[in-house]
A and B are shown apart, each in its own frame.
Chain A
Amino acid sequence: MSQAKNLINGSGRRTDGRTADELRQIKITVGVVKNADGSAFIEFGRNKIVAAVYGPREVHPKHMALPDRCILRCRYHMSPFSTDTRKNPAPSRREVEISKVMRESLEPALILEDYPRAAIDLFVEVLQADGGSRCAGITAASVALADAGINMRDIVSACAAGKIDNKIVLDINDTEDKEGGADMPVAYMPHLEQVTLLQLDGILTPEQFNECLDKAIGGCNMVYEIQRQALMQKYFGNETELKEEQ
């Protein structure tokens, strides 16, 4: 993580023209995979990711079934054409790790005890990658799980923050990830105010760490609003503007 070139210009703009507190453009579409029980497609900047949920369904092999709760199986995969040079489609160490952290970040939000002896299979396919694909994947996966009707404690939103040119910025992209000082992906349950994933690649002082975490949580709250709008649009259409009766 060397800082060879300037990632923030004189007017405080980043390489893609954003300010320090600005997210990339996010668009979420719910229910894009017909054969899945729940699905979502997210465009997070130049990331394009599909998440599909199957289940709750019978566990195969059966010895993996748990008598008191459901198991969540997660597969994060990058398509060979998702990067500038061809990516080997075989699961890499990175993909295996991201599958694991993705599962662990979603499990606290799911009420798995409601579906004993069953399995929920989650597939996250990266079609185009541009840094922050694990956060975008978690965000899409959470919407897909809600779309599948799985009982959840909260929707999980994810967003990264990081350090570039010794300044803490929100939602770092691929260039900033490679050439910046630190990258901190955070997954967060906005209503319960609980962090379900926190990783840190780089070095931060305690003050920078706190600032970075606060910024990432702020980003998660912004991402949640987009998730909420996407789900409302699918299930309630124009009713989304309805106000509380009580």
Chain B
Amino acid sequence: MHPNVTIITFTKIYNLYMKRERPSSSPILPGEQIAFIEEFESGKNTYINNGSVRSSAVGTKVYDFKRRIVKIDQKNSPMLPKIGDIVVGYIEMLFGNMFSVRILYVNDKKSEAGFSAIASTRLGGGGGGGRDRGDRRARLIFRIGDIIRGRVISLLNSTVHITIDEKEFGVLYTLCFNCGGDTVKLNNAVKCIECSIFEERKLTNDYGKETFRLIHKTGNNN
């Protein structure tokens, strides 16, 4: 056999393998049958009923012929925080080692759902991080009303857990705890421009750069 023939065949097989997820252009509504359980497994936005895989959302079918999974590419998913999402919110409650954040924006889009998230006041996730590190890590200072940016790390027990343990996460905006005046960033602290009082904070790297105002503007337009 000529060597070129072999090369062409392998290319075809490789292309087929790479295109293993084949979206179907036919629209689908909840309840419609998309496959039998003998043909495909149930993927995202699908469910099994009486031997059939059915859609649970409005969207288009996507068949994964390699893994034999069928899923629905949803057209209109509700805006719920998922793992990896960046959320912005304000601190609504402070507890000993953690605080509760009322989510205002998910990935820079305004969220009206009013979900709450919890975060640790200690860097490194708090509690079970390392065996010896627990007590040595200083507890950070937060105040009710601080605007926080964080990333969703877990949805354990249906509760949104966020982390602020990266340089772009932390306090996005705060007012002076003494006089309520505006504050400016000063290393790892904020200084009031009215009464010059300092307070330590875990700040975002873009604190005071109008990021929050920009997000707010974008969110309102959406």
Contact = CB atoms under 8 A, between A and B. Distances in A.
A117 interface: yes
Contacts of A148: 76, 78
A228 B114 contact: no
A222 B31 CA distance: 16
B192 interface: no
Given A115-B80, A147-B76, A231-B58, A152 B30 contact: yes
A231 B74 CA distance: 13
A57 B56 contact: no
A153 B26 contact: no
Contacts of A152: 30-31, 56-57
A56 B80 contact: yes
A111 B32 CA distance: 15
Given A57-B113, A57-B115, A153-B47, A191 B31 contact: yes
A146 B26 CA distance: 17
Contacts of B157: 67
A109 B75 CA distance: 19
Nearest to B103: A58
B107 interface: no
Interface string A112-132: 000111100000000000000
A100 B45 CA distance: 28
Interface stretch (A43-51, A209-217, A236-244): A236-244
Contacts, number: 96
Interface string A138-176: 000000001111111111000000000000000000000
B78 A67 contact: no
A149 B56 CA distance: 9
Interface in B158-189: 158-159
A151 B72 CA distance: 11
Interface residues of A, number: 41
Contacts of B113: 55-58, 118
Given A57-B114, A191-B31, A231-B58, A153 B25 contact: no
B30 A244 contact: no
Contacts of B78: 37, 55-56, 148-150
Interface string A69-85: 00000000000000000
Interface in B49-85: 49, 54, 56-58, 63, 74-78, 80
Contacts of B75: 149, 235
A239 B80 CA distance: 28
Contacts of A228: 29
Contact of A155 (B30, B33, B114): B30
Contacts of B80: 56, 115
Nearest to A227: B29
Contact of B31 (A54, A60, A190): A190
B58 A244 contact: no
A151 B45 contact: yes
A72 to B, nearest CB: 14
A243 B80 CA distance: 32
A11 B126 CA distance: 80
A246 interface: yes
Given A191-B33, A228-B29, A151 B57 contact: yes
B112 interface: yes
B205 interface: no
B196 interface: no
Contacts of A118: 113, 115
A90 interface: no
Contacts of B56: 111, 151-153
Interface of B: 24-27, 29-33, 45, 47, 49, 54, 56-58, 63, 74-78, 80, 112-116, 157-159
Q: 6 tightest CB-CB pairs across the interface, nearest first?
A: A154-B31, A191-B31, A152-B30, A116-B158, A57-B113, A58-B114
8 contacts: A38-B76, A146-B58, A147-B76, A149-B76, A153-B49, A155-B29, A232-B29, A242-B25
Given A147-B58, A152-B30, A154-B54, 13 more contacts: A55-B78, A56-B113, A58-B113, A111-B47, A117-B159, A146-B58, A149-B75, A151-B45, A151-B56, A155-B31, A191-B32, A192-B31, A235-B75
